[in-house]
Structure 1
Amino acid sequence: MVVAMRAAVREDEATSLVEESYRALKDAIRRNQLLPGYQASEQEIADQLGVSRTPVHEAVIRLQQEGLVQVLPRRGVRICPISPDDIREIYNVVIALEAMAAELLAGMDAKTRAPVLADLTAHTAEMERALKADELDQWATADDAFHASLIAGCGNGRIARLGTTMSDQLHRARIATLRMRPKPKKSAVEHRAILAAIKSGDAEAAHASARAHRVRSRDELLPLLAKHGLSHL
């Protein structure tokens, strides 16, 4: 019994280290702290994170499945570049997923969708506050949280899982171009339109509003990647 308990504790600790390594590495990639194209050995990454190589190896396997890194035999790990063509394809998937997520939310009964609406409203309010204070990084965090809550709260697990993966890949390009764009004044306004449609139970309007929002974002970002020579992203 004691041996089994100790083994369980060790297994829990190992699982925790893998999860922490995964989250730390994923966050560094999403924030472009590890830039697209960056290459290093698993041991070098482990040294940067202050952990052993084993949890990093497990984390890298998960991140490769999500399309964020590439394992190169005998050459280490490479942070996946994202070309403008990749961004266009990712946006097209995200547009479809988030439009359907908004439609599904609008179709829920008011009591079921109320907690999700509360989260979406809070994230939008934080975006407005951050933009007013010219805190673009905080604005980006709140904007990302809005979209994450939208797909997580739609009641469709497959949309949530695929949407999260796509958003992680897209986030790097959005962060890289954040200060190249005009101040993002339209986003919160468009979020308010999505919220109004969901709250009123108008599934068609919710779908259309969410789709139009991401289409505008795509059409704004792609020319910036070309103009500023960010094809390595």
Structure 2
Amino acid sequence: MTSRSGKTVSNAQRALHELRAMIFSGELAAGSDHLESELAARLEMSRTPVREAVLTLEGQGLLELRQRKGVRISPVSPDDMREIYDVLTELESLAAEHAAEASYDDGDLAQLTAAIDDMDAAIDAEDREAWAAADDRFHAELVRLGGNQRVASIVGMMQDQVRRARAITLFMRPMPVQSNEDHRLVCQSIRNGNADVARATHRAHRQQSKEMLVGLLERHRLRSL
């Protein structure tokens, strides 16, 4: 298999990519159990690359490898998401503060602005999946602009769980118009060099997002019982 860049993709990399996609889409549902041989058959490859992919996904918290029992897809826990959002709120708010202190010009903020524009276009088109992709870009760029590699590393470790929770709740929530307004205010505060406002605005945004997402996950779990 060859990627768009022309580089050869190993079977282990392909297994990792496809299993992640199956988990995020719900094809491998949260809480479901699977044998490695079953997963290998689905992917039409041997068990060795599947085992490598499974070990990576276990390290990312997306599944649990149980001895002699196969693989269990990890559920998305409301309590876990509370803890994850608490950490993300602090780290991303710190990134917003540092970005505002960095005296960035419009060119430096072009990717952040483009993500907001794409979120607006997605709202107009009522395309929630496109909005989610642009939202991911906004948060990743915000962390990059914060300039702290350790913050970026810790945030990156948590993003898969956040994306899974959002994939479950994306079509349950109202259209995220307010989220776009929050992002625009954060960007403007960074452009103006107003660190206190950038941090406070992003903190409030993440806290509201946490309350909404956790509430939706709790209702989803009750309906699934």
TM range, normalised to the smaller chain? 0.7 to 0.9
Matched-pair contact (CA < 8 Å) for 2:98–2:195: yes
Shift of 1:88: 0.9
What is the aligned partner in structure 2 of residue 36 from structure 1?
30
Q: Distance in 1 between matches of 2:97 and 2:12?
A: 36
Q: Contact 2:103–2:191 (CA<8 Å) still a contact in 1? A: no
After TM superposition, give the deviation of residue 125 of structure 1 in Å.
Answer: 0.9
Q: What letter corresponds to residue 76 of structure 1 in structure 2?
A: G
Check 1:100–1:29 CA distance in 2 against 1; reply closer, same or farther (3 A cut): farther
Matched ranges for 1:101-112 at <5 A = 101-110=95-104
Moved over 6 A (4+): none
Q: Which of 184, 194, 200 in structure 2 is aligned with 1:208?
A: 200
Superposed displacement of residue 74, structure 1: 0.9
SS at match of 2:64: strand
Shift of 1:71: 0.7
TM-score of the pair, normalised by structure 1? 0.84
Q: Check conservation: 1:82, 1:231, Cα contact below 8 A.
A: no
Q: Give the 3 Å change call, closer, same or farther, for CA 18–211 of structure 1 in structure 2.
A: same
The reply to whether residue 134 of structure 1 matches residue 112 of structure 2 is no
Offset of 1:53 from its aligned partner?
2.0
Q: Secondary structure at the match of 1:37?
A: coil
Q: Return the alpha-carbon distance in structure 2 between the equivalents of residues 196 and 149 of structure 1.
A: 15
* Alignment partner, residue 76 of structure 1: 70
Q: CA 1:26 to 1:231, structure 2 compared with 1: closer, same or farther past 3 Å?
A: farther
Write the letter of the residue equivalent to 1:167. Answer: Q
Inter-CA distance 212–78: structure 2 relative to 1 (3 Å threshold): same
Q: Which residue does the alignment assign to 2:40?
A: 46
Aligned residue for 1:26? 20
1:3 is matched with none
Give the deviation of 1:167 after TM superposition.
1.9
Residue pair 1:103, 1:206 contacting (<8 A) in 2 also: yes
In structure 2, the residue corresponding to 1:27 is in which secondary structure?
Answer: helix
Which has the higher mean CA deviation after the structures are superposed, 100-109 or 222-231? Answer: 222-231
Q: Aligned with 1:229: secondary structure?
A: helix
Separation (CA, whole Å) in 2 of partners of 1:231 and 1:160 = 35
Gaps of 5+ in 2: 1-6
Residue 124 of structure 1 contacts residue 192 of structure 1 at CA under 8 Å; is this kept in 2? yes
Partner of 2:212: 220
Q: Say if 2:85 is the partner of 1:91.
A: yes
1:57 maps to 2:51: yes
Q: Distance in 1 between matches of 2:146 and 2:39?
A: 36
Deviation per CA, 1:73-126: give whole Å up to 9, x if none.
111111111221111111111111211121222222426x944x2222111111
Q: Decide whether aligned partners of structure 1 residues 24 and 100 sit closer, same or farther in structure 2, where only a CA change above 3 A counts.
A: farther
Match of 2:3 in 1: none
Q: Quick one: distance in 2 between partners of 1:144 and 1:82?
A: 19
Number of paired residues? 218
Partner amino acid, structure 2, of 1:97: L
Query: Structure 1: 5+ residue runs without aligned partners?
Result: 1-11
Aligned to 2:169: 177
2:188 maps to: 196
TM superposition shift of 1:230 = 5.2
CA distance in 1, matches of 2:25, 2:87: 21
Give the conservation status (yes or no) of the 8 Å contact 1:41–1:77.
yes
Cα 1:172–1:106 shift into 2, 3 Å:
same
For residue 166 of structure 1, the aligned residue among 155, 158, 177 is: 158
Q: Cα 1:60–1:20, aligned 2, differ >3 Å: closer, same or farther?
A: same
